[in-house]
Amino acid sequence: AQSVTQLDSQVPVFEEAPVELRCNYSSSVSVYLFWYVQYPNQGLQLLLKYLSGSTLVKSINGFEAEFNKSQTSFHLRKPSVHISDTAEYFCAVTRAAGNKLTFGGGTRVLVKP
């Protein structure tokens, strides 16, 4: 069985400040890792994913995440947030056999002006 833990349920942050959202996973087999974002009243959108190769992956809107196998973590960071980054962020894993996702509980980011 696999599980995902997002250590912070809410993260308030000021505009243009950096933010880090923590994600740890547990699994007895190799996993693949994802971050999804859910804007208010919308469905989930894929932000970035780690499947293989470089452990540092980046999104087109300035987010990045680093896969750390020894610490079983996949933390999400952005050096400077905007008001429009206000959303809920979900870390998810899937096993090698397919794309069925196991999600963490989510981290709500509130960007303040």
Partner 1 sequence: ETGVTQSPTHLIKTRGQQVTLRCSSQSGHNTVSWYQQALGQGPQFIFQYYREEENGRGNFPPRFSGLQFPNYSSELNVNALELDDSALYLCASSAGTGVTDTQYFGPGTRLTVL
**Which chain residues interact with partner 1 by CB under 8 A?**
4, 6, 32, 36, 41-46, 49, 51, 90, 92, 94-106
17 membership: H or E segment, kind and range? none
Pick 15 or 101: Cβ nearer partner 1:
101
**Contact (CB, 8 A) for 46 and 63:** no
Least separation in angstroms between residue 78's CB and partner 1 is 20
Question: Minimum distance between the CB of residue 99 and partner 1, rounded to whole angstroms?
Answer: 5
Which residues have a Cβ under 8 Å from the Cβ of 24 and sit 6 or more positions away? 4, 5, 7, 71, 72, 73, 74
Query: Least separation, in Å, of the C-beta of 16 and partner 1?
Result: 28
